[in-house]
Structure 1
Amino acid sequence: MSFCKDCIKGVTHDGTPEGKIETIGGIECYVATPTVDYPKNKVLLFLTDVFGLPLVNNKLLADDFARNGFKTVLPDYLHGDAIPEDAMNAGTFDIGKWFATHGTADTRPLLDSVITALKADGVTSFGATGYCFGGRYVFDLAFDGVIASAATSHPSLLQVPADLEKYASTAKAPLLINSCTTDNMFPLEAQAKADEILTGFAPGYKREYFEGCTHGFAVRGDLSDPKVKAGKEGAFKSTVEWMIKHM
């Protein structure tokens, strides 16, 4: 498995996070809670890119989901060692060395601790939305039957076609994929293969495509570019609608 140059490129967005840092299952999490009544037994897991909990973009997106009625939990499954924001666009960060200590064996136990604690607190239904690095975990949680609804934007670390075939044969969670024009992690050929394998998937499958966008657009895109801005907003809208329908 590998990453691409766009995995650590992007733009930091403006805004002030409105959620809170809480410790859940011994893991630091960013929690965005709706200000209106919401189903207390449901949580949307926000599975971040490699910039993790510290990147303001991730927290602002979590806030946006909360505004749409979802209690949203962003776990620090990178054990306090997210790629620093100042590495974005620098072109010198060794992401391969970083990944050597951030594989599934390192990260999944932290995510599982959060999920176990939320279940103990009365949560009975989870959705998951994963960006880049987080897309891998959306698939894995669906494989394990943990989540009721799955969405991913420009996923990284997938094995194509193996993971798509496994999803079709074993997963029960309806799946949304937000894809784009330029994406070395989930290129046009992989997008076509997903459609080939998952069209007709009984629980539900949909792929959105955002022309003129690049890997990372849904969370780190340059909002001064009209196509990227439309792509980010479109991916968010499609994810909200998917979770409303399926979570």
Structure 2
Amino acid sequence: MLPIVLLSVLSAVYAAVVPQLGFESHLPSQVAAGVQPLGKNVTINGVLTYVTLPKKKFDPKIAVLLLTDVFGLPSPDNLVLADQWAAAGFATFAPDYLNGDALPPDGLGNITAWAVNHGEAQTTPPLLAVVNALKSRGVKQIAVTGYCFGGLYTVRLVQNNTVTVGTTAHPSSLDVPIDFEVVKAQSHVPIEINNAELDTGFTPALAVETDSVLDDGQYPPGYLRRQFNGVGHGFAVRANASDPVQVAAKNGAFDTSLAFIKKHLK
């Protein structure tokens, strides 16, 4: 997987790197006591993966690949979110592309130190191992949905035409607009972004800059961005149940991504 290619055709001369945001920029876990994930951890091509399946009949040739934030599979919020995708009718796979070393959800971890051992060289191989295994098992269409840290890898998979459709919420670690210039230059995969008004990473200004590359029919495969006001980074994964603005934003982000994926599955 090439992180950035075809730079010679890019018109952008300035890029802003979207920072990774640590514990202080996320709500603590919002999963209610007693709520248990419905799926199970299995090993796929050597990679621990949370697998959750619909209760009703589903198409085994279609899969949702859920790429978590920095808190990974130990976070119950990520697992419950994966279950939500399964409830929507998709076999859902959340690989541990953090290699068993997710950022602690208690605020004790240092995002800067953690990031040193979680660059693309470390995280891409396990991700692609699961993608390749799914394809070898007969999965014909993969919809990727990435949150925060996982947003970078949604864009990478879109750039390289590895998946059928991609969605992301409050992505981090991207170069804007360069990463989206790469999408425009070489991809045929539709992409959708949910962003937050109060995000200090993928800010509204960077979202608008992304629009300047992909919006208004500039990207024929399909592009959609939806901004949710009154919420900040991480809103699509965790919402305070007593705050109707947060709840509506989280539900809205899921519904928007779901509709986009359904529209663009072949």
- TM interval, short-chain normalised: over 0.9
- Within-5 A mapping of 1:188-227: 188-199=204-215, 200=217, 201-227=219-245
CA shift for structure 1 position 6: 6.1
* C-alpha distance 8-106 of structure 1, shift in aligned 2 (>3 A): farther
**Structural mapping, 1:48-63, within 5 Å:** 48-63=68-83
AA aligned opposite 1:85: P
Aligned-residue identity in percent: 40
Q: Could you tell me whether the CA contact under 8 Å between 1:151 and 1:239 is conserved in 2?
A: yes
Is the CA contact 1:41–1:122 (under 8 Å) kept in the aligned structure 2? Answer: yes
Alignment match, 2:147: 131
Partner of residue 26 from structure 1, selected from 34, 43, 46: 46
The 8 Å contact of residues 7 and 132 in structure 1, kept in 2 or not, is answered as no
After TM superposition, where is structure 1 displaced by more than 4 Å over at least 4 residues in a row?
A: 5-8
Q: In structure 1, the residue corresponding to 2:230 is in which secondary structure?
A: strand
Shift, 1:221, TM fit: 2.9
On the 8 A contact 1:164/1:197 being kept in 2, the answer is yes
Secondary structure at 1:108's aligned position in 2?
helix
The CA deviation at 1:170 is 1.4
Runs of 5+ consecutive residues of structure 2 not aligned to the other structure: 1-16
Between 58-67 and 4-13, report the one with greater CA deviation: 4-13
Do residues 10 (structure 1) and 27 (structure 2) align?
A: yes
Give the paired residue count: 243
The CA deviation string for residues 55-96 of structure 1, in whole angstroms up to 9 with x for no partner, is 000110111111111111000000100012222xxxx53111
Instruction: Give deviations 1:144-203, integer Å, cap 9, x for gaps.
Output: 111110100000011011011111111211111001111122111111111111111101
Conserved in 2, the CA contact under 8 Å of 1:11 and 1:221?
no
**C-alpha distance in 1, partners of 2:195/2:57?**
32
Structure 1 residue 40 corresponds to structure 2 residue 42: no
Distance 2:129 2:24 in 1: 26
The alpha carbon displacement at 1:7 in A equals: 6.7
Distance apart, 1:5 and its partner CA: 4.8
Distance 2:199 2:23 in 1: 8
- The correspondence of residues 77-226 of structure 1 with structure 2, limited to 5 A, is 77-87=97-107, 93-199=109-215, 200=217, 201-226=219-244
User: 2: CA distance between counterparts of 1:118 and 1:8?
Assistant: 33
Query: Residues of 2 paired with 1:7 and 1:221: CA distance?
Result: 15
Matched position secondary structure for 1:86: coil
The Cα offsets for residues 3-22 of structure 1, whole Å up to 9 and x where unpaired, read as 23567521312221101111
Report the alpha carbon displacement of residue 131 of structure 1 after superposing the two structures with TM. 0.2
Give, in whole Å, the separation in 1 of the partners of 2:73 and 2:23: 19
Alignment of 1:64-79 (within 5 A): 64-79=84-99
Query: 1:7 & 1:194 partners in 2: Cα distance?
Result: 26
- Write out per-residue CA displacement over residues 15-60 of structure 1, whole angstroms, 9 at most, x where no aligned residue: 2110111110111100010111111111110000000011000110
Letter paired with 2:177: P
Gaps of 5+ in 1: none
Query: In structure 1, how many angstroms separate the alpha carbons of the residues matched to 2:123 and 2:22?
Result: 22
